[in-house]
């Protein structure tokens, strides 16, 4: 299945974080931050003058974003997909995996 996002939408696959080191289990993060990989991006943000502003993020970028009420989610075959806007992204992680 392939998703094609429109305009400034970004499709991200959640990167499941390991919650243990050795035999010690760590608590999940309390601030709802999610690490993900950008799978697809739209053509850009539609501005009031009708022009389109290109997005900063690119396919395969590793990003950090906050999972909150306004982010759409979809789960398929045990993979969590998030549909968000660039403004929802907190950071792009360099050398990110």
The CATH number of the domain holding residue 74 is: 2.30.33.40
Q: How confident is the model at residue 38 (pLDDT cuts 50, 70, 90)?
A: very high
From 44, 46, 69, 65, select the one nearest 54 (Cα to Cα). Answer: 44
Q: Are 47 and 53 in contact (CB under 8 A)?
A: yes
Query: 2 lies in a domain?
Result: no
- Which uninterrupted H or E stretch holds 21? strand 20-21
pTM score above 0.75? yes
Any domain includes 18: no
**Residue 79 belongs to a domain:** yes
Contact 25, 59 (CB under 8 A): no
Question: pLDDT band at residue 55, thresholds of 50, 70 and 90?
Answer: very high
Q: Does 61 fall in a domain?
A: yes
Over its C-alpha atoms, the chain yields an Rg (Å, rounded) of 15
Say how many domains are in the chain. 1
Whether 46 is in a domain gets the answer: yes
Give the domain range for residue 31.
Answer: 9-13+25-93
Q: How many other β-carbons are positioned within 10 Å of the β-carbon of residue 47?
A: 9
């Amino acid at each position: 299945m392939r998703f094609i996002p429109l305009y400034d939408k970004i499709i991200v696959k959640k990167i499941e974080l390991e919650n243990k080191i050795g035999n010690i289990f760590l608590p999940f993060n309390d601030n709802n931050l999610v690490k993900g990989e950008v799978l697809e991006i739209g053509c850009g943000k539609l501005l009031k003058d009708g022009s389109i502003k290109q997005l900063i993020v690119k396919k395969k970028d590793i990003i950090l974003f906050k999972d909150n009420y306004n982010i759409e989610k979809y789960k398929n075959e045990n993979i969590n997909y998030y549909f968000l806007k660039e403004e929802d992204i907190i950071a792009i992680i360099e050398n990110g995996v």
